[in-house]
Amino acid sequence: MGEALEIEDLLKDFISKWTSHGAAVKGEAHLFFGQFIVLIADETATTVGGCSTDTSVRMIKEIEQRFGVNMFDRTSLAFIVKDKIQLLPMQQVQYAADNGFINSDTLYFNNLVATRAELESNWIIPLKESWLAKRISFSQAAD
């Protein structure tokens, strides 16, 4: 819990100093469920360019090093299983479906969302509504 508060403080500090081409970026940063860092930039106010994106990546890498976590592992997927967030390596998702650990109704964190609206409506969705559903076959018994 202390780490989460520390990360939230680091995120607040970052947002207060975030700039793009010298202009302040109107943005937000959140730590959701103690596991997901979400950065939001209001690009109607200031366009986020390459340098400001690089700055945000550096900040996330600093958090990785400081807390010994991997924030850029795109091969781990997050699901809600038995009311807990469970990470599964992508190559084990079919095994998990075959053995009833997940099914088409299992909630999946769709980390491909790109806008605030998508975050609010399409971030935590049933697996059957995700891009991943096309890559998994579900037995009728598991559903």
pLDDT of 71 strictly over 70: yes
Q: How far apart are the C-alpha atoms of 19 and 45, rounded to whole Å?
A: 12
pLDDT of 143 strictly over 80: no
pTM: 0.85
* Torsion sign across C-alpha atoms 111, 113, 117, 121: negative
Structure tokens at 131: 């891009």
Which residue blocks in 1-143 are alpha helix, DSSP H? 2-17, 50-67, 93-98, 116-122
pLDDT of residue 140: 58
pLDDT tens string 41-59: 988 877 888 888 899 999 9
Task: Indicate the DSSP class of residue 103.
Answer: -
Of all residues in the chain, what percent carry a pLDDT higher than 70? 97
Of all residues in the chain, what percent carry a pLDDT higher than 90? 75
The structural domains of the chain, with segments of one domain joined by +, span 2-67, 76-135
Q: 41 and 25 in contact (C-beta within 8 Å)?
A: yes
pLDDT, mean of residues 9-28: 92
Per DSSP, what are the bridge partners of residue 27? 41
